[in-house]
Chain A
Amino acid sequence: MVTLRTKELRRIHLTLDGKPVLARSGQTILDVARENDVYIPTLCYSDKLRPLGTCRMCLVEIEGTAMPVTSCTTPVSEGMVVHTDTANLDNLRRENLKLILTRHPYNCPSCDINGACELQDLVYRYDISHQDMHAYQIKPADFGETPWATPLITYHPRRCILCGRCVSACTEIAEVGVLAYKGRGSDTIIASTEPNEFGRECISCGECLASCPVDALVEANGQPKGKAWETKKVKTICTYCGTGCELILNVSGNKVTHVSPSRGGVNQGALCAKGRFGYDFINHKDRLRSPMIRRDGYWEEVNWDVALDYVADKFAAIKQREGADALAGLSSARCTNEENYLFQKLFRGVLGTNNVDHCARL
C-alpha cells in the first residue's frame, strides 16, 4: 500500500482580515500573514527559533475564540477567521509596549544597536512617548550583580525585555542550554544556570547575543563604534577553520565594528566564539602589515620583492646543499583552499619535496 505522505501537507482555507487566503497545514497564523504581506508586530519571534509566545505583541483575534491568541504560536486551521488589526488589538499592543517600557531605559543614543533595534522600531511605529508612560510608574528594581555565563558577553538586565530568544538560542542552536529565567515578577532576569551533574557549561559561542532583539547582550570587550546606518555589510567566510562559516563584517570607515551572522552558508547563521568575537586582530596595532627580515638581531620592514628574493635565494641554497627534503612548508588555516592548493604545488612541483603540512585550525 502506498502511504500518502501528503496527508501531512493539507491545504487550509482561512480568512485573514476579510480576505480569503490559502495556507498549508503546520503553518502558524504569523507565517501566513507574512506570506500575504499582512503586518503583525513581533518582538520575541525569530525565524531561527521555535516560537516563544512571550512578548504578546503578535496577538490576533479569531472569531469564536474568547481571548486573543498569539499568531506566532497558533497553527492555522480550516475555516479560521482571523483579524489582525482591530481597535482592541491595537490597544493591547500599545499597552503591552508601554509595559515593556516601564522597565526599559529610554537610552537609544548610547546603544550600539540603535537603528537596528526591534523594540525601538515598534516604539517608533506605535508612537509612544514619555507622556504615555505617565500612568505606569513603578518602583525601580535593583538587579544587583548580573554576571553572564561568559567573560565575552555582558548582560544589561534593564535593557532586557525577557523575550527568551537567548535562552532558546542557547538550547536550540548552540545545544548547550545553560540559560534560564531567574527570579519572579518584574525582577526576573536571564541568568546562566548552576553547573550541574550533567556538565552543562557555557561555551561562549555568542548565539545568545546574536539572537537578542535589543542591546541587552553586548560584547564585553567593547567594540569599535559605528551605528547600523553607518556600517557597510560585507559578506565573507570565516578564516579560523576549514568549516567555512559564512558571516557578515560590519565595517565603519576602515574598521570592523562587529560580526553578525549571515542567513546562509554551511552554518546557516551559527558561529563559534572565534568567528563571532575574534575580529579585533584585523585592526590590531601589532598586526604585521608588511614582510620583515631579521638582520643582526633586529626586525626590519621590507617590501615584498625584497622578501621574496630573500627566501627564494635561501631555499635554492638549502636545496642545493642538502637536497629538497631539507625543506618543509607549513601553511596556515587562515588561507583559502585555493591558496593552500597553490602552496603545496609550490613545495611539491617547484621545490620538489612532499614535506608540506598545515596547522589545521586556529
Chain B
Amino acid sequence: MTETILGIWDNQVICTPRPEDEASGITKLAELREYAPGNPVYAVMGWDGYFIYDQAHVDVVDMARAYMEVVQGESCGKCVPCRMGTRVAADLLTRIAEGRGAQEDLDSLRKVADVVSQGSLCELGHSALCAVIDLLNQHPDEFQRTVTEGIRHPRGTYHTKVTAPCVEACPERLDIPRYIEMIKAGHYPESLEVIEEKNPLAAVCGRVCVRFCEFACRRGKLDDPISIKHLKRFVSDVRLDAAVKIMPDKVHVVPDAPLVAVIGAGPAGVTAAYHLLRKGYPVEIFEASGAAGGMAVWGIPDYRLPRDVVRSEVEIITSMGAIIHYNQRLGRDFSIADLKARGFKAVFVAIGAQLGTGLRIPGEEPAPEGYLPGIEFLHKVNAGEAVKAGDSAVIVGGGNVAMDCCRSALRLGIRQVHLVYRRGREEMPADKLEVHDAEEEGIIFHMQCNPTRLITENGKLTGVECVRMILGEPDATGRRRPVPQEGSEFIIPCDMLFPAIGQRIDTSCLADDGASLDVTKHGTVAADDDTLLTSEEGVFAGGDCVSGPATLIQAMAAGLRASNSIDQYLKQGYVSLSDDERMSRVYRAVMAVDEDSVQRLGGAARKEVTLRPVKERVDDFDEVEQGLSPEDALLEADRCLRCYRILLVATDK
C-alpha cells in the first residue's frame, strides 16, 4: 500500500498506516470510515490539525470557513484576540470562499492567527486557528487559485462538537469548564443549572464521584488537576445550605405521553426518571427497598456521603412528579410482563449489583457467626440495624467497598481492623485518597496475602488463615498473577470477617417472567452498549446490573442514555446514536494520535479541602471531608484552563 498523507496533527504529518502501524493510534484513526451507517467521513478538522479521508469530496476552503464559523460562535467573548480575531478570520474566510477574496486577505489571515493563538486567554482561543493555518500551508494552491480566479465554494455538510478532555472523560459528559466558569463569575445557581442539565445528583457526585474528569484534566500536566469534584460539591451545597429550599416544580407531562416504568431507584434509575420527566413522560419507579438512592444510601457510608444529602437530591425527582413505589421487588411483587399489561410502554431495568461474592474457601458454609458479605454489612450499618461489634475484624479486598467496610467497622468501635488484599498496595483498585484516609485512621494493611480458611469454634468465627502471595508468571493479559507462597500461612485472630471482593447481579428476579431478558455469561443483564436495548421489546437496562459493579457516574450516564433511547423508541420506534455520541467516537479516534502538551505557565497550587482530624472522626459517622470555602472555590475555579476543543467532521449527509 502506498503511503499517502492523511493530515497534520500537532505539527506532525500523519500518513495512512503501514502494516507495522497495526494497533497504533494511526490505525484507529484510519479506521474511522463512517460517521453513521451509510454516511462516510470525508475529513476531520480539530484543535490541532486535520485529516482528510477522501480528497475528492473535501473542499478545504469551505471546510476552513465552516470551522471558523463554529469557533466564532463558541468564543465566550471575554478576551479580545479570540472574540474579535476569530470574527475577523471567519469574515476573511467567508470573503475568500465566496470568491471575493484577495491575496492580501490570505496574509491578514495569517497575521490574525498569530495574535489569536499567542494572545488568547484560554485554550479555545489558543487552538482556534491552528488547523486553518495547517490547511493554508498544506493546500496553498487551492487557496491561491480561489483568490486569483475568484472561485466560489458551495457549502458542504459538517457535523461539529464543542467539548473538552475533562468533558469527554466524564461518562455523563457534564460541561465542566462551563460550570467552573460560572463559579468564577460568582454565579452559583447558574453553575448548578449547568450540572443539572444532565446530573440530578450534584451534591452526591460532588462528594463521592471517582473523578474520571480529574484524571483527564489537562491542568494535571502542568501541576495538579482542577479539583472538579469539590467545585461541584461547592455549588450544590449552596442550594443544600440555603435557608429556604427551592425544589423544582412539577413538570408538565405531555398529554397522552406513554407511561414509562423504571425498576430500581438507584443512581441509574433516578437519573433516567429525571430526564424522562424533563422530556414530558410520566414516570413510575418500582423500588425493592424502603428508600431511594441505591448504593448511594445502602452502600456508601454516611461519613463519606450523608444520608440527608442523597435524600434531598432524590426529592428533586419526586417534586418533579415521579411516583416511587417502595417495597416493590421485581420477581417477587411484580414482573415485567405485569408492567406491560398495566400499560407501561417502556421499561428501564436498573437493579444494580446487590449480591456479595463469597471467598470460596473452607469454613464459609454454613456461614459462621461473625461472617457477613461486606455489602450486607454496609447495608446493615446504613439501615441503622444493630451490628454487634467484635474485637477484631478482617476485611478482604482492595476496592472502595473494602475501604468502606474497614472504616465503618472502625467507627462501630471494633478495635482492630485488618485489611487483607492479594496484590500490592499500588495495585489496589480503591481510590488512592480512600486508601490514604483508611491507613491514617489506623486500619492494619496485609498486602499480598490471601485468606485460605476460616477458623471457627462452635459456629463462631475465631480467626482466618491467610497465605502470602508472590507474583507468578504473566498471564494472557501480560499481568503477573499472584500465586500463594507455600508454607507462608499465618493466622489473623478475628471475630468478624467481611469479604468485599466483588458483587453479583441477582438475575433470579428476571426468571419466570413472561418477558425474557437475556443474561450474559458474566451474569449481567444483556443490553446493547450504545442503546441499552435488551433482548425484550421496549425494555432497556443499564447501570451496575449491565456493567457489573462500577461507579455512580457510569450508572447515571446509563440512566441518561436510557432516557434518550426510550424517548427515541417511543417517538420513532427505533433507537440510534445521537450526534453527540457519534462525535464523541470521532473525538476518541482523534485522541489516539493526540500527544498533548500544555504550553502554559503553571504555579497556582490546587486548593485542597480539610478533613476532620483522625482522632475526632473515627468515633462517628459524620462527614469527614469539609467543602471548599468560597474563597478557595474561586481560586480553584481560576486555575481551569478552559480546554474547549472544537471538532468538525465533513460527511456526505
Contact = CB atoms under 8 A, between A and B. Distances in A.
A65 B600 CA distance: 7
B73 interface: yes
Interface stretch (B28-36, B111-119, B393-401, B487-495): B111-119
Interface in A42-96: 53-56, 59, 62, 65-70, 74-75, 77, 88, 91-92, 95-96
A188 B186 contact: no
A88 B119 CA distance: 11
Contacts of A56: 79-81, 119-121
Interface stretch (A13-21, A191-199, A289-297): A191-199
Interface in B180-206: 185-190
A103 B246 CA distance: 42
B573 interface: no
Contact of A186 (B84, B112, B126, B242): B84
A69 B603 CA distance: 13
Interface residues of B, number: 43
B565 to A, nearest CB: 31
Nearest to A167: B185
Contact of A96 (B74, B80, B86, B185): B80
B72 interface: yes
A56 B78 CA distance: 10
B118 A183 contact: no
Contact of B88 (A55, A102, A164): A102
Contacts of B112: 95, 99, 136
Interface in A195-223: 196-198
A103 B85 CA distance: 11
A310 interface: no
B79 A54 contact: yes
B599 interface: yes
B119 A68 contact: yes
Contacts of A193: 187, 190
A102 B84 contact: yes
B73 A184 contact: yes
B132 to A, nearest CB: 16
A162 B87 contact: no
A103 B186 CA distance: 28
A180 B77 CA distance: 11
A127 B188 CA distance: 43
B70 to A, nearest CB: 10
A331 interface: no
B148 interface: no
Contacts of A167: 185
Contacts of A39: none
Q: Which one of B80, B121, B186, B246 has the highest number of Cβ atoms from chain A below 10 Å of its Cβ?
A: B80
B83 A171 contact: no
A139 interface: yes
A269 interface: no
Nearest to A138: B91
A: contact size bracket: 35 or more
Contacts, number: 129
Contacts of B105: 135
Interface in A150-193: 161-162, 164, 167, 171, 177, 180-181, 183-188, 193
A128 interface: no
A180 B187 contact: yes
A99 B80 contact: yes
A102 B72 CA distance: 15
A216 B343 CA distance: 61
Contact of A75 (B114, B118, B603): B603
User: Chain B interface mostly helix, strand, loop or mixed?
Assistant: helix
Contacts of B126: 67
A241 interface: no
Contact of B601 (A74, A92, A162, A188): A74
A152 to B, nearest CB: 23
A14 to B, nearest CB: 14
B83 A185 contact: yes
A162 B91 contact: no
A186 B76 CA distance: 9
A100 interface: yes
Contacts of B80: 54-56, 96, 99-100, 161-162
Contacts of A180: 185, 187, 190
A66 B599 contact: yes
A110 interface: no
Contacts of A138: 84, 87-88, 91
B189 A183 contact: no
A3 interface: no
B11 interface: no
A135 B187 contact: no
A135 B105 CA distance: 7
A100 B121 contact: no
Contacts of B108: 135-136
Interface string A96-128: 100110110000000000000000000000000
A99 B85 CA distance: 6
B564 interface: no
Q: Which one of B78, B105, B121 has the highest number of Cβ atoms from chain A below 10 Å of its Cβ?
A: B78
Given A95-B111, A186-B84, A67 B600 contact: yes
16 contacts: A55-B79, A62-B601, A67-B126, A68-B118, A69-B601, A75-B603, A92-B115, A95-B114, A99-B88, A135-B107, A171-B186, A181-B78, A184-B73, A184-B77, A185-B86, A186-B75
Given A92-B118, A96-B80, A136-B108, 15 more contacts: A53-B121, A55-B80, A56-B79, A69-B601, A70-B121, A77-B603, A88-B118, A96-B81, A102-B87, A102-B88, A139-B91, A161-B80, A180-B187, A181-B77, A188-B76
Interface of B: 72-81, 83-88, 91, 104-105, 107-108, 111-112, 114-115, 118-121, 126, 185-190, 242, 246, 599-601, 603-604
